Amino acid sequence: MKPVVLRSFCDKGPAVDFFVARKEYVKSGKIATVRIRRLESMTKIRNMEEFAAVSGLSRPTVSKYFHDPDSVRATTRARIEEALERFDYRPNIYAVNQNRKLTKNIGIVVPYLADPFFAEIARYLEQSCIAAGYRPSLFSSHGEHKLENEILDSLRSLKPAGVLLAPLGRASDRSAIEKFCENVPTVLFDSNLEGLGAAFIGSDNFSFVSQTVEYMTRTGEPPSFFEMRTPANPNANKRRKAYIEVMERLGFEPHVVKIDGEGWAFEEIGRKGAAKVLGRRELKTNSVLCSNDRLAIGFLSACYEMGIRVGRREDCALRVASNDNHPFSRFTCPSLTTAAHDYDNVAGRSVETLFELIENGGKLGNRTETLFPARLVLRESA
Amino acid sequence: MKPVVLRSFCDKGPAVDFFVARKEYVKSGKIATVRIRRLESMTKIRNMEEFAAVSGLSRPTVSKYFHDPDSVRATTRARIEEALERFDYRPNIYAVNQNRKLTKNIGIVVPYLADPFFAEIARYLEQSCIAAGYRPSLFSSHGEHKLENEILDSLRSLKPAGVLLAPLGRASDRSAIEKFCENVPTVLFDSNLEGLGAAFIGSDNFSFVSQTVEYMTRTGEPPSFFEMRTPANPNANKRRKAYIEVMERLGFEPHVVKIDGEGWAFEEIGRKGAAKVLGRRELKTNSVLCSNDRLAIGFLSACYEMGIRVGRREDCALRVASNDNHPFSRFTCPSLTTAAHDYDNVAGRSVETLFELIENGGKLGNRTETLFPARLVLRESA
DNA sequence: ATAAAAACTTTACGCGCGTCAAATTTTTCC
DNA sequence: GGAAAAATTTGACGCGCGTAAAGTTTTTAT
């Protein structure tokens, strides 16, 4: 038997003054065991070097294990996992990512996280990424293009394998996003910026509006369209256009009601706008299609306050429908008839496309735009 | 004049075959300028070394600048900032953090980001951190303690200067959080775990309930208390206890109505529970205090569907109040009377405390628990 | 049992940056 | 103008890890 080779591996810190047997640990029992116990009780593992030492392996082997546990021998793997239980060491993710050419990071950026719609879709995206073995990082632009740009800068440092980006839209700094997309595999979702990113996945705004308009005209008066004068999101413009187009196709005169307001407090904007419009009797129809659910929530709130009965029943004065199927639209009074995003498909296809993009080394063929149709959700309000 | 010293600084990549004059750039015009232009048009700055070269400075000086722009001479600073405009280089944040002993990272962890309450408070916290020159990273546990633990592990790698943690509460893995707090300066908020973290900042649940109960008894019948049977959040228990205590102190018999339901879909749980309770006429009072606003939103929705008029007016059958001042409570029908969190103070004090903790090297005196009182928001529902 | 294959160890370098001490330059001040 | 002070440069090391080549050990196949 060879002599017991004791090898120093800590050259500073609390573990400065003792040693640990490495491969000899297996063969030459006692001494090494004692030393290791002593280590075990005294210090925490600070890096992979130390962890490799206590598991009696070399650092490259341990590194290999963390990259892919099946890439090492079964006995080796067992040894590492045993040590893992005793020491609960984890590689420093950021150091790992700095060195790996392909990281498992994925950036998710949404324009406004306090909006439950984005919160919900972000949750779905995060979980899909985790399920696929990636590490998502979530960012919210909070409605500010300056912050959006800073997030993109942070993301560069993260060296993400890919990014799922729902841009602010009109407020976005197009050239900044363009540059970013040149360097990082990016899939846009929810809000399209023409030509940017490897692909866009979103909802078909035309499908939203055509379904709600057709439903409302079929079952009653054709609706007016209720929206913000200066919408933050480009989807809003598409919805207005779709409304006008569908109305004209059906032979009705479109009525677009534009209300004032800036920012992301859509409910309050909708409430005030509705109060104004209803108070002045500017509404020419007894049915209203809101550009999005958050405006509709405010609209319904105003109606309630003014004692206007909303719903599809005969004793109601007004019907209100909307678009998005916001998580709370089920709980408005009355519950909101709305065109639902195909959340699952938008989110699912977004991550699928991104994974495909990543596997192809960051390049896909032509830039594709995938639009999922809406699903009409009939509730009480229209 | 000295000869022009041409110095190589790129030893690989697209810039492999040319040179850039460094300090001689200033003195000896043409040649150097040409070289730099050539570089400028051909390559992107990949690291601080290259950036230092094109700005004609040494890397340590540039590093110093990024740490504190005022720590270098004004002329030096101007030179760097000039180069910055031409090349838009930024240090890799994660590499920076790996090496700095004190990073500017702050971790923010909330239990469930799809809850607008947390989304709102997270937004406030993020912006406070940014304003103070820190870099916040936001994480959501999505209601799962497993995910909460993984987030804490990720945070260790981030080497954060401090962490703002709103734990899941009862579902949290106490020992994991305890270990984490030993290593990382952590301030708990919203949901307290006794003894953990350097401080706790939250709302005074007693103050919520006492105000709503007193208001309701003063202006009508004393309320029943409506809550989930197995609440996820420890605040719920405190609220129930406070309700019972206040009711008894005022000489009324407490009525606690417990409804079934698991998870974080509080609105739906509240709606179903309310429908059941109201349908069976199990409610012994004509006024109800909901444990939180999300339950109340569901409750009001059920009332509307059942044709029960809610409000404080005489023609109403039921009064409903609640706690939290959820961002949407303004828009329920009727608008919700509720006890408001002191958002600004809770968030503000949380970050203040954390900054203080960070400045003190991670140690404060005794662990403090700061509770901000609620503010009663009178609206239409009670 | 023996050779080939597989797994592991050693050694060494790189990532992008912080940081420190010593040497050099520039600035400031009298 | 000269010396002291301030700023910068150089050179070197460290962070925690990935990765590659070459050599050694273990496993598998024959």
User: Which pLDDT belongs to residue A98?
Assistant: 83
User: Which pLDDT belongs to residue A231?
Assistant: 85
CB A169 within 8 A of CB A118: no
Q: In a mutagenesis test of the B interface, which of A92, A113, A137, A180 is the best target, namely the one with the most B β-carbons within 10 Å?
A: A113
- Can you tell me which residue has its alpha carbon closest to the C1' of nucleotide D11? B60
Q: Is A113 close to B123, i.e. CB distance below 8 A?
A: yes
Q: Is B271 close to A331, i.e. CB distance below 8 A?
A: yes
Tokens representing A55 are 């598991």
Residues with CB under 7 A from strand C: A 22-23, 56-61, 64, 71-73, 75-77, 98-99; B 12, 23, 46-49, 59-60, 63-64, 66-67, 73, 75, 90-92, 95-96, 98-102
User: Which pLDDT belongs to residue A43?
Assistant: 60
Residue with tokens 């103050």: B207
State, as a whole number of angstroms, the distance between the CA of A2 and the C1' of D16. Answer: 32
Q: Is A123 close to B135, i.e. CB distance below 8 A?
A: no
CATH number among 3.30.465.10, 3.30.565.10, 3.40.50.300, 3.40.50.2300, domain B100-203+345-373: 3.40.50.2300
Range with lowest mean pLDDT among B10-24, B34-48, B211-225: B10-24
Q: Where are the domains of chain B?
A: 6-91, 100-203+345-373, 205-340
* Cβ-based contacts of A116 with chain B (< 8 Å): 114, 116, 119
Q: How close, in Å, is residue A2 to chain B by CA atoms?
A: 39
Range with lowest mean pLDDT among B33-42, B152-161, B261-270, B338-347: B33-42
Q: Is B140 close to A153, i.e. CB distance below 8 A?
A: no
- Nearest chain B residue to A119, by CA: B114
Give, rounded to a whole angstrom, the gap between the first and last alpha carbons of chain B: 86
State, as a whole number of angstroms, the distance between the CA of A358 and the C1' of C6. Answer: 31
Residue B310: is its pLDDT beyond 60? Answer: yes
Q: Helix/strand/coil (H, E, C) string of chain A?
A: CCCCCEECCCCCHHHCCCCEECCHHHHCHHHHHHHHHHHHHHCCCCCHHHHHHHCCCCHHHHHHHHHCHHHCCHHHHHHHHHHHHHHCCCCCHHHHHHHCCCCCEEEEEECCCCCHHHHHHHHHHHHHHHHCCCEEEEEECCCCHHHHHHHHHHHHHHCCCEEEECCCCCCCCHHHHHHHHHHCCEEEECCCCCCCCCEEEEECHHHHHHHHHHHHHHHCCCCEEEEECCCCCHHHHHHHHHHHHHHHHCCCCCCEEEECCCCCCHHHHHHHHHHHHHHCCCCCCCEEEECCHHHHHHHHHHHHHCCCCECCCCCCCEEEEEEECCCCHHHCCCCCEEEECCHHHHHHHHHHHHHHHHHCCCCCCCCEEEEECCEEECCCCC
Q: Is A328 close to B139, i.e. CB distance below 8 A?
A: no
* Cβ-based contacts of B142 with chain A (< 8 Å): 123, 126-127
State, as a whole number of angstroms, the distance between the CA of B46 and the C1' of C26. Answer: 30
Residue B134: is its pLDDT beyond 90? Answer: no
* Cβ-based contacts of A121 with chain B (< 8 Å): none
pLDDT in tens, B228-247: 998 877 889 999 999 999 99
* Cβ-based contacts of B293 with chain A (< 8 Å): none
Residues (pLDDT < 70) of chain A are: 1-43
pLDDT in tens, B22-36: 333 322 222 233 333
Q: Is A267 close to B334, i.e. CB distance below 8 A?
A: no
* Cβ-based contacts of B184 with chain A (< 8 Å): none
Q: Is it true that domain A103-202+345-372 has CATH number 3.40.50.2300?
A: yes
Tokens representing A230 are 């200066």
Q: Is A333 close to B333, i.e. CB distance below 8 A?
A: yes
State, as a whole number of angstroms, the distance between the CA of B64 and the C1' of D11. Answer: 17
Q: Is B330 close to A127, i.e. CB distance below 8 A?
A: no
pLDDT in tens, B57-80: 888 999 989 888 888 888 889 989
| Cα torsion through A153, A155, A156, A157, rounded to 10 | 100
User: Which pLDDT belongs to residue B43?
Assistant: 59
CB atoms within 10 A of CB A278: 18
Q: How close, in Å, is residue B99 to chain A by CA atoms?
A: 10
- Can you tell me which residue has its alpha carbon closest to the C1' of nucleotide D9? B58
- Closest to A154 measured CA to CA, from B94, B122, B83, B89: B94
CA–CA separation, A32 vs A26, rounded Å? 9
Q: Is it true that domain B205-340 has CATH number 3.40.50.10320?
A: no
Q: What are the two backbone dihedrals, phi and then psi, of residue A297, each rounded to the nearest 5 degrees?
A: -60, -45
Q: How close, in Å, is residue A138 to chain B by CA atoms?
A: 7
List chain D nucleotides near protein: any atom < 7 Å from a Cβ: 7-12, 14-21, 27
Residue B14: is its pLDDT beyond 50? Answer: no
Residue B313: is its pLDDT beyond 90? Answer: no
Task: Name the closest nucleotide to A100, judged by C1' and CA.
Answer: D18
Residue with tokens 């405010």: A298
Q: Positive or negative, the Cα torsion across B314, B317, B323, B325? A: negative
- Please determine whether the domains at A103-202+345-372 and A205-340 fall in the same fold group of CATH: yes
Nearest Cβ partner of B142 from A90, A123, A334? A123
State, as a whole number of angstroms, the distance between the CA of A122 and the C1' of D20. Answer: 39
